[in-house]
A and B are shown apart, each in its own frame.
Chain A
Amino acid sequence: DTLKKIKDSGSVTMGVRESSGALSYTLGDGKYTGYHVEICDKVLSDVRKQLGLSSLSVKYQPVTSQNRIPLVQNGTVDIECGSTTNNATRQKDVSFAVTTFVEEVRIAVKANSGITKIGDLNGRSVATTTGTTSVQTLRKNERATGVDFKEVFGKDHADSFLLLESGRADAFVMDGSLLAGLIAKSKNPADYKIVGEVLSVEPIAIMMRKDDPAFKTAVDNSIKAMIKSGEIAKLYDKWLMQPIPPANAKVGLPMSDNLKAALANPNDNPAEAYVKK
């Protein structure tokens, strides 16, 4: 199991993302940082104390949305600190720590486009990113509301945003934090705004191997302690409200009610549990 592996080897591999908004990203030169990365750093130092190790070397393994689950499964990555949605399908393969972030899928549009809700998208083109759950969300919404729009897929978020920026798409549907981050870093943040209803709500959590209750407990306990001490709230403010490197732009996304609820009552419920609310 993971705790034993960490103890024996004195090292642990953290899965990180090159570019997942403020949650997990690289500063170049092999340095990774972000809201979830910092939470994980703290969690791992708690784990180190628990195991009685004097030092613990943390290896960063960049992962992509395609390979993160297999990598956790096959043991390459011990703890994934990116921006992975906790859902029921995935829970069959991996397990998640208590929810540390709640993502609300929203719509970003050009400020002068006049679009304010999903209904306005009828006959327009909507961008989203290949390999994300937003594609499914969009598809479900299209079916449910009868709104007919054209989907264009970017190969990554920057690409999708570029579709919006260059006018190839009229809207960009994606996780709110990512949208806020992209807008903040864009050449003219005032040109864009996030509008409309929340299309879906997804708990984002730190991911670990399945069937390793000892490790999960250690991680969960560490996070719960941080929630209690208010440290999580501080980190949230640091990463999502204040200017962050490298561009020193503010994401500026206040904590949502959903996240507040999740922190008030720490749990690892999958996304399906949020739909019903």
Chain B
Amino acid sequence: MSNFDWQVFCKDTIEGEVVERCFGSGGSITYLDWLMSAWGWTLSVALLALLVALVVGSMMGILRTLPSKTWVLVGDAWTELFRNIPLLVQIFLWYHVVPALIPALKSVPSFVLVVLGLGFFTSARIAEQVRAGIQSLPKGQRYAGLAMGMTLAQTYRYVILPNAFRVVIPPLTSESMNIIKNSSVAFAVSIAELTQFAMQAQEETSRGIEIYLAVTGLYFASAFLVNRIALFIENRVRIPGTSGASK
């Protein structure tokens, strides 16, 4: 049972015959073609959702540190709402329930919904990191900015955020790796990404082990890639004279 049959990736997805050079031609596709396109979907969902999560999460995180009680409440409510419901359930609600209440959303493609759903879910976690990052800075920094006559907005823009950003890179790295892994829920709404590929292809080929190995490998590679990029950014923005976070 442990003799692997890697030929499976060279098979055509319709005839089930092994194709030469493993990539399909003329409209027919092999499992390898499919795997690659699935990887592409995984990366697209993950990266776009990450973008949404970073933008929304940073905004919410910042709100939670403002002096205004109202804004803090808005940020808190957002965070609690999106982090206390399992992702799979949230995706389902976005796809099936929300459009039932707001008919205009019916025509929105599922790709967009899943990017938003995954993005909002992750934004709650990022908001938490950003808030913690900002609050970990000495209070004196905020005072120093204000004391120089900067407005609160300027103080955030020029003093607090550049520092907080550096503080939160390591936790954000883990969130970015998480989002790649979490993107697997997209299969629930008909996105042909890696998990969906794994489920469908192993059903069709009965070569579960090989399929799962390949898919796990690609997830691993993607997460590793994100990790390297984050490390690169972390080193690029390291401030001279500080030891940096990676001690």
Bound pair (A, B)? yes
B residues in contact with A140, CB < 8 Å: 14
**A85 and chain B: residue at smallest CB distance:** B203
Task: Bits for A96-135, please: 1 = Cβ < 8 Å to B, else 0.
Answer: 0000000000000000000000000000000000111101
A153 and B14 contact, CB distance less than 8 A: no
**Given contacts A132-B203, A166-B99, A167-B106, A66 and B208 within 8 Å (CB-CB):** yes
A227 to chain B: which residues have CB within 8 Å?
none
Contact of A130 among B1, B99, B199, B208 (CB under 8 A): B199
> Contact between A69 and B99 (Cβ–Cβ < 8 Å)?
no
Chain B binding site: helix, strand, loop or mixed by DSSP?
helix
Are B204 and A155 in contact, with the CB atoms below 8 A? no
The 8 Å CB contact of A133, one of B110, B202, B204, is B204
Interface string of A147-190 (1 = CB under 8 A from B): 00001111100010011001110000000000000000000000
Q: Is the CB of B200 within 8 A of A93?
A: no
**Which A81-104 residues have a C-beta within 8 angstroms of B?**
89-90, 92-93
> For the side of the interface on A, what is the size category?
20 to 34
Q: Which of A66, A152, A163 contacts B202 (CB 8 A)?
A: A66
Q: Is B100 an interface residue (CB 8 A)?
A: yes
Pairs A–B under 8 Å by Cβ, sample size 6: A66-B199, A70-B208, A135-B203, A136-B204, A140-B14, A166-B100
* Extra pairs beyond A66-B202, A73-B1, A139-B14 (11, CB < 8 Å): A65-B199, A66-B203, A89-B16, A131-B199, A135-B204, A152-B110, A152-B190, A153-B190, A153-B192, A166-B106, A168-B106
A residues bordering B, Cβ < 8 Å? 65-66, 69-70, 73, 89-90, 92-93, 130-133, 135-136, 139-140, 143, 151-155, 159, 162-163, 166-168
